[in-house]
């Protein structure tokens, strides 16, 4: 069995977004810091107030920590909790997308810009219009169009919205009803906003029916990621409270996507969040666990392990303890 490698041990990092820029592998993680608040379902124990950028020219080689690329004190609209982030490149600029709670404790998604993949990044004065919830992930298709996927339940506040509108008393659907979906929107050419209303990322079962809210082994919870393999679109995500990384496939960036299986079984620590990236001819899964911190779910450490496909394009399941 292949073994995963921890990337850094001088800080706690999680929710890795991995991209190849300028022929080098860059990882954009969240930064776990203790808040001193007891653990709860809203994530108040996560005191995440800045981002570091990591890079390496070999998956087995030395990892460079480029230091703080963005600090919450420099984001005019942000109040607290800078969670999972992602990055993209277009027209000579690098864009860092990040969720943060605004001054009223509502999650929005912001964007910051740099001339370099490692930053530092300069934030815009306001979050993206129409943005909400958490976990932005940006996918560039072969035609150059770039799409943002986002959303997360519970502390991520996705259950508070229907058809992109906030609800008076937002709750998850009943178990027999259709599950809440991640969201996807095409980005503007300037990469600073949505060019359309966000759409549902619909996940179907083997019979073509939407997954139900009570199907906790398969329904979307958080941690959207998109990659493309042999012409197919792979939407991967976390099931949250059942601690699985799963994936579904489709024929276009919007879906619908048909559930296919489990990428990663549960790790030590409550959350599971990942990215999938091809580098130098091999595919890799970046994820995290809480082994180095002794199982404390809000102090996580990044790992990387090779990801493999079967002949039919299905992904070989990786054990979370690997």
Catalytic site residue from 15, 86, 135, 200: 15
311 is catalytic: no
Contact (Cβ atoms closer than 8 angstroms) between residue 97 and residue 138: yes
Question: Token pair of 275, please?
Answer: 């990215």
Closest CA to 85 of 134, 120, 133: 134
CA distance 69 to 67: 6
Catalytic site residue from 86, 135, 222, 289: 222
222 is catalytic: yes
Contact (Cβ atoms closer than 8 angstroms) between residue 48 and residue 320: no
**Length of the chain as a residue count:** 322
Where in the sequence numbering do the catalytic residues fall? 15, 222
């Amino acid at each position: 069995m292949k073994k995963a490698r921890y990337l850094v041990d001088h800080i706690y990092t999680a929710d890795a977004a991995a991209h190849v820029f300028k022929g080098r592998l860059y990882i954009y993680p969240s930064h776990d810091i203790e808040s001193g608040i007891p653990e709860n379902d809203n994530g108040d124990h996560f005191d995440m107030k800045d981002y570091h950028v990591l890079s390496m020219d070999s998956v087995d080689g030395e990892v460079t920590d480029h230091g703080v690329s963005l600090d919450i004190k420099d984001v005019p609209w942000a109040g607290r909790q800078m969670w999972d982030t992602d990055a993209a490149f277009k027209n000579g600029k690098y864009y860092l997308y990040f969720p943060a709670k605004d001054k009223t404790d509502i999650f929005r998604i912001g964007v910051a810009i740099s001339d370099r993949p490692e930053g530092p990044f300069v934030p815009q004065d306001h979050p993206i219009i129409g943005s909400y919830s958490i976990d932005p992930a940006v996918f560039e298709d072969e035609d150059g169009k770039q799409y943002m996927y986002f959303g997360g339940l519970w502390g991520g506040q996705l259950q508070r919205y229907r058809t992109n509108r906030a609800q008076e008393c937002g709750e998850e659907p009943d178990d027999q009803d259709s599950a809440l979906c991640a969201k996807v929107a095409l980005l503007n050419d300037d990469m600073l906003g949505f060019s359309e209303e966000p759409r549902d990322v619909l996940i179907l079962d083997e019979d073509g029916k939407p997954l139900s809210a009570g199907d906790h082994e398969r329904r979307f919870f958080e941690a959207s990621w998109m990659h493309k393999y042999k012409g197919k679109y792979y939407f991967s995500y976390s099931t949250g409270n059942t601690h699985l990384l799963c994936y579904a496939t489709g024929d276009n960036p919007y879906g619908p996507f048909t559930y296919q299986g489990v990428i990663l079984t549960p790790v030590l620590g409550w959350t599971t969040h990942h990215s999938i990236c091809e580098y130098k001819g091999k595919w890799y899964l970046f994820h995290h666990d809480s082994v180095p911190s002794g199982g404390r779910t809000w102090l996580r450490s990044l790992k990387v392990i090779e990801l493999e496909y079967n002949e039919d394009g299905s992904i070989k399941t990786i054990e979370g303890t690997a």
